[in-house]
Amino acid sequence: QAPAIILGIETSCDETAAAIVMRDQSGKGVIRSNVVRSQLDEHAAFGGVVPELAARAHVTYLDHIIAQACREAGIQLSDVDAIAATAGPGLIGGVLVGLTTAKALAAALDKPLIAVNHLEGHALTARLTDGVQFPYLMLLVSGGHSQFVLVRGVGDYERWGTTIDDALGEAFDKVAKLLTLGHPGGPAVEAIAKSGDPKRFKFPRPLLREARLDFSFSGLKTAVRLQAEALAPLSDQDVADIAASFQAAVADVIAVRSRQALERFAAEFPGQEMRLVVAGGVAANQAIGTALKAVCATAGATLVVPPIALCTDNGAMIAWAGAERYALGAHDDLNFVARPRWPL
Ligand code: KG4
Ligand code: ZN
């Protein structure tokens, strides 16, 4: 296979991102540049991502981010072999900015366009960072998604479970909001939980009695809210204890579900080496990481956690997914329509 240089563009949420990734003859990937501009400041005052503001910021910054990605990689735009962009799922205004930019570049440079499913970007990242072989199990836990996906090959995915209400990152963010810890909530909840008692409150572990691999976090969030209201006004210790108890409930749920998912994997692929790959911003959480390590150790599975900068949204994961599909001869029509919803 000829080596390929791919430009990847990501604009589906609140990061404006572009990256240059090279895939060599052996199929190994090298990140030549990976530029991410987070819009945290634009949205801070609103306590969450405002879609219209996000789209406008992507318009303002994307060209510069792409130019910077090329500069840092030491290449010209015309050196790329293909242009990959997130075409969904995500906030449609933002997706349109990235995808339309990619189409314009593809047309102007006469290079193929690769329309990438954002979830596929997360799913394939571990092959870029750790050279993980198919098949493997992915746990994606971000602000927008919480799911188990069986990754059998490029373009060959099977969703084994998803959330029936809130995404896990969203639950962290909502709990942080009601404890007035600011946005994004995940890191704030984790930090304050360190000085809290995880056993003080017995929060529910939703759906755990059921065999399916789905998640539900909205009942847990409500239990946290009711507890906070019952105790108000909250002392610093109350806040820390609530955060710690919430995080403990979440870690329990993730651990039990991951054990079940690995059991299913073992049943469907007897004798196959088991790998659990984690993706999404919540992968940064150490309590969850510790729980996953224990589950994998017991199950005899390898836990793969890519560097956190590649777990959260970035352009390299889109470039890499593009590179994997490009190597298989895939490319997409310039009329490809952006998809706000697009299950793997
Ligand atoms: O993957 P990501 O950067 O963006 C998308 O949602 O696509 O994930 C962001 C989410 C936010 O909800 C944030 O609160 C959560 O990941 N998060 C965490 C931690 N760091 C980020 N949640 C729990 N613990 C953390 N340390
Ligand atoms: Zn994402």
Q: What is the per-residue DSSP string for 257-284?
A: HHHHHHHHHHHHSTTPPPEEEEESGGGG
pLDDT above 90 coverage of the chain, percent: 94
CATH architecture of 4-128+311-327: 2-Layer Sandwich (3.30)
Give the fold, CATH level 3, of 135-309: Nucleotidyltransferase; domain 5 (3.30.420)
Tell me how far apart the alpha carbons of residues 169 and 167 are, in angstroms, rounded to a whole number: 6
| Ligand nearest, relative to CA of residue 120 | 2
Q: Quote the ligand 2 centre to 13 CA distance (angstroms).
A: 8
At a CB cut-off of 8 Å and minimum separation 6, what does 1 contact? Answer: 23, 25, 27, 327
Beta bridge partners of residue 30, listed in sequence order: 22
155-201 per-position pLDDT tens digit? 999 999 999 999 999 999 999 999 999 888 999 999 999 999 999 99
DSSP 3-state of 156: strand
Q: Flag whether 239 is marked binding.
A: no
Q: Are 44 and 175 in contact (CB under 8 A)?
A: no
3-13 per-position pLDDT tens digit: 999 999 999 99
d(CA 21, CA 33): 7
- Taking only the tens place, the pLDDT of each residue in 22-50 is 999 999 999 999 999 999 888 988 888 89
Burial class (CB in 10 A: 0-12, 13-18, 19+), 41: exposed
Q: Is 196 helix (H, G, I), strand (E, B) or coil?
A: coil
d(CA 322, CA 302): 26
Is 190 one of the annotated binding-site residues?
Answer: yes
Q: How far is the CA of 313 from the centre of ligand 1 (A)?
A: 10
Q: Considering only CA atoms, which residue is closest to atom 6 of ligand 1?
A: 143
State the burial class of residue 138 (Cβ atoms within 10 Å of its Cβ: 0-12, 13-18, 19+): buried
Residues 6+ apart with CB under 8 A from 271: none
pLDDT tens, position by position, 107-159: 999 999 999 999 999 999 999 999 999 999 999 999 999 999 999 999 999 99
The predicted-structure confidence for 278-298, as pLDDT tens digits, reads as follows: 999 999 999 999 999 999 999
Query: What type of residue is 181?
Result: L
DSSP 280-339: SGGGG-HHHHHHHHHHHHHHT-EEE---HHHHSS-HHHHHHHHHHHHHTT--B-TTPPP-
| pLDDT band of 1, cuts 50, 70, 90 | confident
**How many angstroms from the chain centroid is the CA of residue 181?**
22
pLDDT reported for residue 206: 85
Going from the Cα of 28 to the center of ligand 2, the distance in angstroms, rounded, reads 23
State the Cα–Cα distance between residues 67 and 65, nearest whole angstrom. 5
Q: Determine whether the annotation assigns residue 144 to a binding site.
A: yes
Ligand 1 pocket, residues with Cβ under 6 angstroms? 13, 142-144, 169-170, 172-173, 184-187, 190, 280-282, 284-285, 312-313
Question: Helices in 111-235 by DSSP H: which ranges?
Answer: 118-130, 168-178, 185-193, 218-231
Helix axes 92-109, 51-73, angle to 10 degrees: 40
Q: At 211, is the pLDDT very low, low, confident or very high (cuts 50, 70, 90)?
A: confident
Enumerate the CATH 3.30.420.40 domain ranges in the chain, comma separated. Answer: 4-128+311-327, 135-309
Q: What is the ipTM of this complex?
A: 0.98
Instruction: Compute CA distances 295 → 146, 170, 179, whole Å.
Output: 18, 24, 30
* Mean pLDDT value across the chain: 96
* Cα 174 to ligand 1 centre (Å): 12
Which DSSP symbol is given to 83?
Answer: E
**Higher model confidence: residue 175 or residue 208?**
175
Question: Partners of 37 in the beta sheet?
Answer: 16
